[in-house]
Amino acid sequence: MKIAVCIKQVVTREWQLRVNDQKSWIRDQDASFELNEPDAYALEEALRIKEKHGGEVIVCSAGPARATQVIREALARGADRAVHVESDALATADANAVADALAEAIEPEGVDLVLTGLQSDDQGFGQVGVVLAEKLGMPHATIIMEVQKTDAGVSVKRELEGGWFQWVALPMPALLTIQSGINQLRYATLKGIMAAKKKEIKKVAPSAAAPAAQRITSIYLPEKGKKTQMLPGAPAEAAKELVKRLREEARAL
């Protein structure tokens, strides 16, 4: 079975975020980076499927040259080879542009399964996986907590709201977005790190920039302030006033 895993390089969670001068994205010149956590679970699931059924795991990443850091990490954990769609513009591109670049890299590989993390730790929209499935013409399922290979394709367990789960059967090729916590992550061994240096990383440039479906107009850090208000009076009167303020001031009702 040939499996493609899409991975993304994101800013380390412990880093103190700073907004750039244009207020369009964070200032990442002096930031440290790491592998997006949901993508790490997708990679681990791909490696487990390969160990059980055989095949090949290909990691695919769309981003600037610095994304090689997480690609090497994925290879050290056990992936067989990698494809890097290298472009500085993809560092802040929207889901449509990223999915377009990944589809261009994955389609020639003729994979049986594509795994992505459920969402990224930076923007967190959870859109790249489903948009990529559309561009590849594959059936897809999201928020996956378990994957079982079947004769007809794959059977997957989806996490729903309120503690409910749903089993779905899909033919292959298919795309799955993996939920964090589906498995226990492995870490790169010294042997794996040494082997990763000899593994292939195919670098490709996106042929054309896909049209942006959305753009960030402004980014700012949350402002700290004390805005607690006490509602005096009897409980019934306070509740009535709370509903009034939620409706007229906060517009939450």
pLDDT surpasses 70 at 234? yes
pLDDT surpasses 70 at 209? no
In the prediction, which pLDDT does 63 show?
Answer: 92
**Residue 53: phi, psi to the nearest 5?**
-120, -5
In the prediction, which pLDDT does 92 show?
Answer: 83
In the prediction, which pLDDT does 210 show?
Answer: 66
In the prediction, which pLDDT does 54 show?
Answer: 95
Domain residue spans of the chain: 2-204, 223-253
Considering the chain, what percentage of its residues have pLDDT values greater than 90? 67
Give me the mean pLDDT over the 52-65 stretch: 95
In the prediction, which pLDDT does 68 show?
Answer: 94
**Residue 168: phi, psi to the nearest 5?**
-130, 140
Tokens encoding 171: 């033919």
In the prediction, which pLDDT does 180 show?
Answer: 94
Instruction: Give the number of other CB atoms < 10 A from CB of residue 78.
Output: 20
Give the domain 2-204 fold.
Rossmann fold (3.40.50)
What digits encode the pLDDT tens for the residues 64-88? 999 999 999 999 999 999 999 999 8
150 against 251, higher pLDDT? 150
Tokens encoding 47: 């490696």
CA-CA distance, 116 to 102, in Å (whole number)? 11
pLDDT surpasses 80 at 172? yes
In the prediction, which pLDDT does 174 show?
Answer: 97
CA-CA distance, 78 to 54, in Å (whole number)? 13
In the prediction, which pLDDT does 43 show?
Answer: 97
pLDDT surpasses 90 at 109? yes
What digits encode the pLDDT tens for the residues 127-141? 999 999 999 999 999
To the nearest whole number, what is the mean pLDDT of the chain? 91
Band of pLDDT at residue 142, cut at 50, 70 and 90 = very high
